[in-house]
């Protein structure tokens, strides 16, 4: 009936309002979280498939919310991006990751490269270069031990992104294209982009053994990367079969639960740095 429909609509409006309120609440909490020290980083090892050695790690942010517990970055990164909070948060992540990497190097462990994700707003921000330079100086980390991950969609504005990437490369920091294959990169300008690495999205890697289309995509991206003289990393490697397939394709590096989930710094040090050949 019309009355039932009206009630249904009401419930819907109410649910929407709740969603909006909850969102607002989360955004308020997010605003305070940085000052209150509720963020921390976890690290996921990146393994060279020929040598089997850990050669790097990706830093991923976590938010320990006082009531909600651990909030997924999938939930708060978009919110931080929309509200602009991603700029100070991203700067904190970069500083923390560089400081940690430098600390491990000072401890005498074999040197690794740390990868940090950049969001669109951060990448476009006019202070990005100053921030990177400042943080490298402050922490003492040499630029070659830092890699910044951007996504294909961030390179749409060709002239602007070229200029920004060129300046980052000039510092000596590496750049990789994250989630490669899920965006709409024009191959025409991929060949000219000043980047070092493609990271094959985990959606292709996940079912590489079950779906021959995925296998074809993975091997095509890998061989293209070789031809363009780019490094290539496979994300989301969850089992040995996938790892062997990738190694046979001459994919350089891999990352995924097969090697390790992202873990806290102390745990990473224990598992992948301490007592491992220096
Ligand atoms: P991403 O950059 O593509 O990071 C990889 C995600 O895949 C991580 O999720 C990681 O935990 C997950 N993962 C790694 N190996 C496997 C695997 O074998 N199987 C499966 N199913 N998943 C795997 P996480 O940590 O939840 O991060 C989600 C996304 O949030 C990231 O995707 C990234 O886009 C964003 N993010 C995380 N930290 C930061 C940050 O500090 N800054 C920015 N701008 N974005 C971040
Ligand atoms: Ca990433
Ligand atoms: Ca990714
Ligand atoms: Ca992603």
Q: How far does residue 7's CA lie from ligand 1's centre (Å)?
A: 40
Return the bridge partners of 69, or none. 65
Supply the DSSP symbol for 156. Answer: S
For residue range 199-238, list pLDDT tens digits in order.
999 999 999 889 999 999 999 999 999 999 999 999 999 9
Does the ipTM exceed 0.95? Answer: yes
Question: What is the 171 CA–ligand 2 centroid distance (Å)?
Answer: 21
Structure tokens at 17: 């309002």
Q: Whose CA is nearest to atom 4 of ligand 1?
A: 60
What's the pLDDT at 137? 98
Find tokens 């891999």 and name the residue: 254
pLDDT at 18: 66
* Atom 45 (ligand 1) nearest CA: 117
Q: Kindly give the parts of the chain with pLDDT less than 70.
A: 18, 277-278
Name the DSSP letter for residue 179.
E
DSSP, residue by residue, 88-111 = HHHHHHHHHHHHHHHHHHHTTPPP
Give the residue among 101, 91, 93, 97 at the shortest CA–CA distance from 63: 93
- Between the two ends of the chain, the Cα-to-Cα distance in Å is 74
Per-residue pLDDT at 277:
56
CB atoms within 10 A of CB 257: 13
Q: Which two tokens stand for residue 10?
A: 């009401």
CB within 6 Å of ligand 1 — which residues? 44, 60-61, 72-74, 77, 90, 93, 117, 119, 178-179, 202, 236-238, 256-257, 262
Would you say the pTM of this structure is higher than 0.95? no
Determine the Cα–Cα distance for residues 250 and 245; give it in Å rounded to an integer.
Answer: 9
55-97 pLDDT, tens digit per residue, is 999 999 999 999 999 999 999 999 999 999 999 999 999 999 9
């Amino acid at each position: 009936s019309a009355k039932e429909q009206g009630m249904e609509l009401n419930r819907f409006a109410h649910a929407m309002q709740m969603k909006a309120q909850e969102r607002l609440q989360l955004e308020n909490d997010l605003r305070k979280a940085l000052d209150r020290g509720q963020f921390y980083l976890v690290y996921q090892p990146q393994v060279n498939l020929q040598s089997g050695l850990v050669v790097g790690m990706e830093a991923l942010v976590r938010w320990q919310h006082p009531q909600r517990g651990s909030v997924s970055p999938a939930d708060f990164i978009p919110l931080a991006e929309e509200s602009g909070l991603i700029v100070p948060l991203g700067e904190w992540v970069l500083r923390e990751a560089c400081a940690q990497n430098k600390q491990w190097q000072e401890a005498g462990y074999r040197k690794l490269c740390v990868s940090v994700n950049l969001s669109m707003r951060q990448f476009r921000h006019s202070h990005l270069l100053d921030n990177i330079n400042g943080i490298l100086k402050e922490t003492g980390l040499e630029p070659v031990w830092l890699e910044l991950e951007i996504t294909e969609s961030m390179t749409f504005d060709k002239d602007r992104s070229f200029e920004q990437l060129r300046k980052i490369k000039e510092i000596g920091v590496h750049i990789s294209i994250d989630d490669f294959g899920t965006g709409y990169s024009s191959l025409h300008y991929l060949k000219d982009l000043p980047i070092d690495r493609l990271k094959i999205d985990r959606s292709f890697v996940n079912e590489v053994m079950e779906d021959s289309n995925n296998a074809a995509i993975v091997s095509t991206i890998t061989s293209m990367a070789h031809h363009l003289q780019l490094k290539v990393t496979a994300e989301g490697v969850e089992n040995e079969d996938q790892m062997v397939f990738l190694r046979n394709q001459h994919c350089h590096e891999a990352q995924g639960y097969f090697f390790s989930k992202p873990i806290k710094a102390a745990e990473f040090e224990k598992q992948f740095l301490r007592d491992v050949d220096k």
